[in-house]
Amino acid sequence: MTSSLWPRIEPLLAQVTKPARYIGGELGAREPLHEPGRVAWLLIYPDTYEIGLPNQGLQILYEILNEREDALAERAYAPWTDMERAMRSAGIPLFSLETTRPAAEFDVLAFNLSAELTYTNVLNLIDLAGLAVRSKERTGDAPLVVAGGHCAFNPEPLADFIDAFVLGDGEEVVGEISEVLLDRVADHPRGRHELLRALARLDGVYVPALYEARYDGTSLVGVVPRFRDVPERVEKRAIGDLGEWPLPKQQLVPLVEVVHDRLNVEVFRGCTRGCRFCQAGMITRPVRERPASQVDEMVRAGLARTGYDEVALTSLSSADFSGIEHAVSSVINDPQCSGQVSVSLPSLRVDAFTVGIAAEIQKVRRTGLTFAPEGGTWRMRQVMNKLIREEDLYSAVDSAFAQGWRRVKLYFLIGLPTETDEDVLGIAELARRCAEIGHRYHHNVTLTTSVGGFVPKPHTPFQWFGQDTIEELRRKVGMLRDALRGARGVSLRWHGAEATAAEGIVSRGDRRVGAVVEHVWRAGGTFQEWSEHFDLGLWTAGLEAAGLSLEDTVYRHREQREVLPWDHLSAGLHRDFLWQDFSEALHEHVLEDCRWTPCYDCGVCTGLPVEHVVASSVPPAGGSQGTGQDISVGGLMPAHFVHEAHRDMAVGAAGGAEDPAARRSLGSGPRARTTSGARSMGIVDTRASGGGA
Amino acid sequence: MIVRMRFGKLGKVRWTSHRDVARMWERALRRAKLPVAYTGGFSPRARLSFGLALPTGCESVAEYLDVALEAELEPALVAERVCPLLPRGIGVLGAGEPEPGSGSLQEEVTSCMWEISVPRSTRSELDEVLSRLMGAASLPILRERKGHVVSDDLRPSLLALFAQHTHDELGTTLVAELGTRPRGVRPAELAELLDIELGLARRTCQWIERGGSKFEPLDVLPAVPAVAVERAS
Ligand code: SF4
């Protein structure tokens, strides 16, 4: 029996843009044999092929499943609007790329949730597969719809549509789910309800239909199990040893250009820098490094197999990897690579040491360097716990320009707790100062200042904080624009405040927000990550129809005792720890990175059967994130970076909000996916780490 | 040295662009560890030069590529090493050295042969339209270029057109020789002129006309290896 839809798909391709999105054929793709005894998974990334293909989490699960005897996996991505229209009018459902089989013929549809604004695409894809979008309307043998990835840590807005969520690393649990399903597939088929009950018994699996969301008036008072064998609290899964999972071994090499089109090797998972706004860091703790020798081997074998001329050593902050200098120099000095392979470190830490590594790896293509100080003032960075001292910041920028870079890009967030106008203006001052430093070395420099609105995320210390309103964000950006008018070499980029608000609706929404997502989808609002399709009006109309408001779901500060929609789900972090860390943030107290300093008991290593795997017992040269550094002088700017006219202001300055010299700074570390904004460039960090589907 | 290869693009991979194909070649050559010459400067690139772009969606058994190598290698060996590393549907059909002193593929090729399937048509219908076209003094089509609408005459580029055997279901095959000067004509433009539905179009040959005779860019008999004709669907 052949289920291939190809003969019906091919005639559509002449009518659509980028037809190669729909043909598969990547190096490393499998064409698995569908047969009894194998659970068929369709792994779906709910955005375009170019954005979704490089996702390493999805690729890891693809390999794991295809290597099992009892499972197989194929892939699908969201067809662009022209293709979707053509498919719907030709009556062609969502199909797999490999064997062009209808999605509904699979046993499991598994979504990767990397960004909130893709949720309307998730609904659209379930619908395009020919299934009912609401899970309770899917009957008997309809495929199981599951989801994982970072956003699954607040799954409530999708609770009515998804049958089961996987929290945390997916490497082990996909096999366990396959076994449960196989039980059903092979012997006596049980009912859908029994199947869900069986899935809920797996660690790390959350089945929302088995929980009831209770309200008191309009306030959520709890999400509680409806059955006794269903756990009150679902803990995330975390693999103990990344070295046991040297994946992907067969990274997919697409026929067309995609984002992050290069070999990716994950050097560690998790991050304990403790940046308080960063969900990726908080939910992936603890740090689990890959053995350096395995990194070498994966790079060597990967380059030889793929023919790529670029390798990225990925993690949330790769300069923190214990073997980083070794890993970098072994690629660069490998005669096989003969100077034609470049290495990239996404999310550079901000200090001169890191720039030194960058200089070593970018011997040839020295085009642009990107840093994420996130906060414009040292005070702000203390609040965020992004401990980049003025000294580190300016040394990094200075050495970047000194070593030949002419384009430096800086990422910032605005709308953070305790932020004042002075903090916002600090961004402008910092940018001007960095450009000035650049002009000491080059006639022309470009200093791109990219600013995004902060969206508070679940399972972070800032989860209680009320997001800035659209108007307030606009006012702040206007202020920055004025302050940067005429600044030579500085350009300001800004992610739309409206998309930031929409992201906020979903980020901390409860089950009632599901109706909003459905409303936006039904009104045609797909591809909301793309500025050409984003429409805030759809979201506000959806809120109104659901009896909700931006004020309540997005802008409101949460109370300490208030039930949060994800309280029944755990990333291992104690709620008390998060609250205390939030309080400390408000007092500008900082926390060092616990991988090199004593534990402060956030709950992860004590509560989960995992702990840090870090080869080096000491922080990198020069210190990092408070360890091995003198934080008390964090706000002090070394005098030689100060322009003559400002020099008097810097003298004797020590950290502190009143200190005028503290109004300049820059930093690095993980670029958190705090705002997707509208993806006007079509390019967004797709987080190379994480094994969630 | 320069090695010239003739290759095919068949099946699903026809939906990739000319640029995509260039990247597939770069990666395959690197994987084959062939001593490809690189350009200098800030972003070194492999020194490859491709001939006329093949429109996305068209197949071909007559694409050409020149690869600059830093060492002397038997062209057949280069082809043998790189061919298995190319994606399915891309296959090497021949390899050799271009004549000394010859120009780039883009400059030299004067016309291309095409086979275009015309669904739901009969040979007699098509013959009629074709003879009308060949009889016309000029065949202007409107194109937008740099914001202006310009009229291009395609007639000088239509060197030969005829209809071939009819299949019951598939319709007719249109065989065309399309010149590259004063401007190349794409199969889609020909279909527009003919007001026909465009089926699969396949480039079958590229000609270099010099001194009244025609040569192919590579003086080898195209032996078609299995890998190239295997349909990717
Ligand atoms: S439990 Fe302690 S050591 Fe582990 S991540 Fe939390 S603070 Fe760090």
Reported as a single tens digit per residue, the pLDDT across B64-95 is 999 999 999 999 999 999 999 999 999 999 99
Asked if pLDDT for residue A676 goes beyond 50, the answer is no
C-alpha B216/C-alpha B167 separation (Å) is 30
Ligand 1 pocket test, candidate residues A599, A608, A610, A627, most atoms within 8 A of CB: A599
Nearest to A20 by CA among B204, B203, B87, B6: B87
Task: Convert the pLDDT of each residue in A217-251 to its tens digit.
Answer: 999 999 999 999 999 999 999 999 999 999 999 99
Nearest CA to ligand 1 atom 3: A599
* Interchain proximity A20–B31, CB inside 8 Å: no
Which of B27, B42, B88 minimises the CB distance to A306? B27
What total number of domains does chain B contain?
2
CB contacts of B232 in chain A (<8 Å) are: 23, 25
Asked if pLDDT for residue A575 goes beyond 60, the answer is yes
Q: Give distance in angstroms: CA of A387 to centre of ligand 1.
A: 18
Nearest to B167 by CA among B198, B202, B129, B122: B122
User: What is the model's pLDDT at position A640?
Assistant: 73
Which of A13, A304, A339 minimises the CB distance to B15? A13
What percent of chain A is modeled with pLDDT above 70? 90
H or E element: which one contains A200? helix A192-200
Residues in contact with A475: Cβ distance below 8 Å, sequence separation at least 6, in sequence order: none
Question: A502 near A528, Cβ under 8 Å?
Answer: yes
Whether residues B15 and B61 fall in one domain: yes
Mean pLDDT of A510-539: 98
Residue in B12, B34, B58, B59 to test binding to A, most A beta-carbons within 10 Å: B12
C-alpha A668/C-alpha A317 separation (Å) is 9
Q: Which atom of ligand 1 is nearest to the CA of A603?
A: 1
3-class SS of residue A613: strand
Residue A244 lies in a domain: no
Q: Is A89 on the interface with B (CB under 8 A)?
A: no
* Interchain proximity A365–B56, CB inside 8 Å: no
Mean pLDDT of A446-474: 98
* Interchain proximity A255–B24, CB inside 8 Å: yes
C-alpha B218/C-alpha A197 separation (Å) is 67
Task: Convert the pLDDT of each residue in B200-214 to its tens digit.
Answer: 999 999 999 988 899
The residue segments making up the domain with residue B175 are 107-215
Question: A95 near A17, Cβ under 8 Å?
Answer: no
Mean pLDDT of A285-299: 95
Whether residues B69 and B151 fall in one domain: no
Nearest to A627 by CA among A662, A592, A653: A592
User: What is the model's pLDDT at position A75?
Assistant: 98
C-alpha B153/C-alpha B162 separation (Å) is 20
Whether residues B114 and B187 fall in one domain: yes
Asked if pLDDT for residue A600 goes beyond 60, the answer is yes
User: What is the model's pLDDT at position A359?
Assistant: 80
Residue A259 lies in a domain: no
Of the pLDDT bands very low, low, confident and very high (cuts 50, 70, 90), residue B121 is confident
Whether residues B225 and B178 fall in one domain: no
Residues with C-beta less than 6 Å from any ligand 1 atom: A 272, 285-286, 594, 599-602, 604-606
Alpha helices in A284-389, H assignment, sequence order: 292-306, 324-332, 352-361, 378-384
The residue segments making up the domain with residue A30 are 6-235
Residues in contact with B175: Cβ distance below 8 Å, sequence separation at least 6, in sequence order: B113, B114, B115, B116, B160, B161, B162, B163, B164
Of the pLDDT bands very low, low, confident and very high (cuts 50, 70, 90), residue B231 is very low
* Interchain proximity A23–B16, CB inside 8 Å: yes
Whether residues B200 and B113 fall in one domain: yes
Least confident interval from A86-100, A270-284, A573-587, A599-613: A599-613
Edge-to-edge strands, sheet with A446-453: A368-374, A407-414, A446-453, A490-494
Nearest to A674 by CA among A154, A410, A280, A349: A280
Q: Beta-carbon neighbour count of residue A203 at 10 Å?
A: 14
Which of A255, A305, A309 minimises the CB distance to B87? A255
**CATH number, domain containing residue B204:** 3.30.70
Q: Is A256 on the interface with B (CB under 8 A)?
A: yes
**CATH number, domain containing residue A118:** 3.40.50.2300
User: What is the model's pLDDT at position A299?
Assistant: 95
Of the pLDDT bands very low, low, confident and very high (cuts 50, 70, 90), residue A311 is very high
Question: B162 near B147, Cβ under 8 Å?
Answer: no
Residue A57 lies in a domain: yes
C-alpha B194/C-alpha B126 separation (Å) is 9
C-alpha A210/C-alpha A123 separation (Å) is 21
User: Residue for token digits 């089945």?
Assistant: A207
Least confident interval from A43-52, A245-254, B222-231: B222-231
Mean pLDDT of A395-408: 91
3-class SS of residue B175: strand
* Interchain proximity A307–B56, CB inside 8 Å: no
Mean pLDDT of B150-155: 92
Q: Give distance in angstroms: CA of B205 to centre of ligand 1.
A: 67
Mean pLDDT of A74-99: 98
H or E element: which one contains A616? none
Instruction: Identify the top-confidence range among A335-339, A685-689, B152-156.
Output: B152-156
**CATH number, domain containing residue B37:** 3.30.70.580
User: What is the model's pLDDT at position A686?
Assistant: 29
In one letter, which amino acid is A419? Answer: E
User: What is the model's pLDDT at position A175?
Assistant: 97
Provide the shortest C-alpha distance from residue B67 to chain A (in Å). 16
What does pTM read for this prediction? 0.91
Question: A117 near A503, Cβ under 8 Å?
Answer: yes
Whether residues B77 and B129 fall in one domain: no
Q: Which atom of ligand 1 is nearest to the CA of A604?
A: 1
Whether residues B86 and B121 fall in one domain: no
User: What is the model's pLDDT at position B221?
Assistant: 52
Phi-psi region of A610 (alpha: psi -120 to 50; beta: other; left: phi over 0): beta
Chain A, nearest residue to B31 by Cα: A307
Question: A74 near A43, Cβ under 8 Å?
Answer: yes
Chain B, nearest residue to A336 by Cα: B33
Residue in A27, A253, A311 to test binding to B, most B beta-carbons within 10 Å: A27
Provide the shortest C-alpha distance from residue B144 to chain A (in Å). 19
Of the pLDDT bands very low, low, confident and very high (cuts 50, 70, 90), residue A672 is very low
Token representation of residue A31: 């064409």
Residue A551 lies in a domain: no
User: What is the model's pLDDT at position A68?
Assistant: 97
Least confident interval from A199-213, A309-323, B14-28: A309-323
C-alpha A434/C-alpha A401 separation (Å) is 9
Asked if pLDDT for residue B225 goes beyond 60, the answer is no
What total number of domains does chain A contain?
1
User: Residue for token digits 């000294």?
Assistant: A391
C-alpha A205/C-alpha A175 separation (Å) is 12
Residue A192 lies in a domain: yes
Whether residues B43 and B81 fall in one domain: yes
Mean pLDDT of A329-343: 76
Q: Give distance in angstroms: CA of A450 to centre of ligand 1.
A: 32
- Tell me the average pLDDT of chain B: 88
Residue A249 lies in a domain: no
- Expressed in angstroms, the distance from the first to the final Cα of chain B is 37
Of the pLDDT bands very low, low, confident and very high (cuts 50, 70, 90), residue A660 is very low
C-alpha B87/C-alpha B97 separation (Å) is 24
Of the pLDDT bands very low, low, confident and very high (cuts 50, 70, 90), residue A329 is confident
Ligand 1 pocket test, candidate residues A268, A276, A278, A285, most atoms within 8 A of CB: A285
User: Residue for token digits 């409107």?
Assistant: B142
Provide the shortest C-alpha distance from residue A620 to chain B (in Å). 30
Question: A595 near A628, Cβ under 8 Å?
Answer: no
Asked if pLDDT for residue A16 goes beyond 80, the answer is yes
Residue in B15, B31, B116 to test binding to A, most A beta-carbons within 10 Å: B15
CB contacts of B20 in chain A (<8 Å) are: 20, 255-257
CB contacts of B25 in chain A (<8 Å) are: none
CB contacts of A336 in chain B (<8 Å) are: 33
User: What is the model's pLDDT at position A642?
Assistant: 63
Task: Convert the pLDDT of each residue in A130-185 to its tens digit.
Answer: 999 999 999 878 999 999 999 999 999 999 999 999 999 999 999 999 999 998 76
Question: A242 near A266, Cβ under 8 Å?
Answer: yes
Residue A46 lies in a domain: yes
* Interchain proximity B233–A20, CB inside 8 Å: no
Asked if pLDDT for residue A654 goes beyond 50, the answer is no
Token representation of residue A507: 């980020």
C-alpha A145/C-alpha A599 separation (Å) is 39
Whether residues B224 and B134 fall in one domain: no
E-strand stretches of chain B: 2-9, 48-50, 59-68, 90-96, 111-118, 140-145, 148-153, 158-167, 171-179, 201-210, 213-215
User: Residue for token digits 């032996």?
Assistant: B223
Question: A398 near A360, Cβ under 8 Å?
Answer: no
In one letter, which amino acid is B99? Answer: E
Whether residues B113 and B72 fall in one domain: no
* Interchain proximity A256–B20, CB inside 8 Å: yes
Task: Convert the pLDDT of each residue in A383-392 to its tens digit.
Answer: 999 999 988 8
Of the pLDDT bands very low, low, confident and very high (cuts 50, 70, 90), residue A655 is very low
Q: A346-368: b or e for each residue (b if 16 or more CB lie within 10 Å)?
A: bbbbbbbbbbbbbbebbeeebee
Output the DSSP codes for A28-59: T---PPP-TT-EEEEEEESS-HHHHTT-HHHH
Asked if pLDDT for residue A272 goes beyond 70, the answer is yes
Mean pLDDT of A576-588: 97
User: What is the model's pLDDT at position A666?
Assistant: 26
The CA distances from residue A598 to A455, A591, A593, B49, in Å, are: 30, 11, 9, 59
* Interchain proximity A364–B42, CB inside 8 Å: yes
The distance from CA B226 to its chain's CA centroid, rounded to whole angstroms, is 19
Nearest CA to ligand 1 atom 8: A594
* Interchain proximity A13–B57, CB inside 8 Å: yes
Provide the shortest C-alpha distance from residue A291 to chain B (in Å). 26
User: What is the model's pLDDT at position A338?
Assistant: 60
In one letter, which amino acid is A180? Answer: V
Which of B16, B31, B42 minimises the CB distance to A256? B16
User: What is the model's pLDDT at position A504?
Assistant: 98
Q: Which atom of ligand 1 is nearest to the CA of A607?
A: 1
Of the pLDDT bands very low, low, confident and very high (cuts 50, 70, 90), residue A460 is very high
Task: Convert the pLDDT of each residue in A612-628 to its tens digit.
Answer: 999 988 887 767 787 87
Whether residues B79 and B10 fall in one domain: yes
Residue A590 lies in a domain: no
* Interchain proximity A25–B89, CB inside 8 Å: yes
Task: Convert the pLDDT of each residue in B4-61 to its tens digit.
Answer: 999 999 999 999 999 999 999 999 999 999 999 988 776 778 899 998 999 999 999 9
Provide the shortest C-alpha distance from residue B70 to chain A (in Å). 14
* Interchain proximity A340–B232, CB inside 8 Å: no
Question: B109 near B200, Cβ under 8 Å?
Answer: no
* Interchain proximity A25–B42, CB inside 8 Å: no
Least confident interval from A58-67, A421-430, A658-667, B198-207: A658-667
Mean pLDDT of A417-421: 97
Whether residues B171 and B198 fall in one domain: yes
C-alpha A199/C-alpha A190 separation (Å) is 12
Residue A466 — φ and ψ, nearest 5°? -80, 130
Whether residue B44 is preceded by a cis peptide bond, meaning omega within 30 degrees of 0, is: no
Least confident interval from A354-368, A593-607, B57-71, B106-120: A354-368
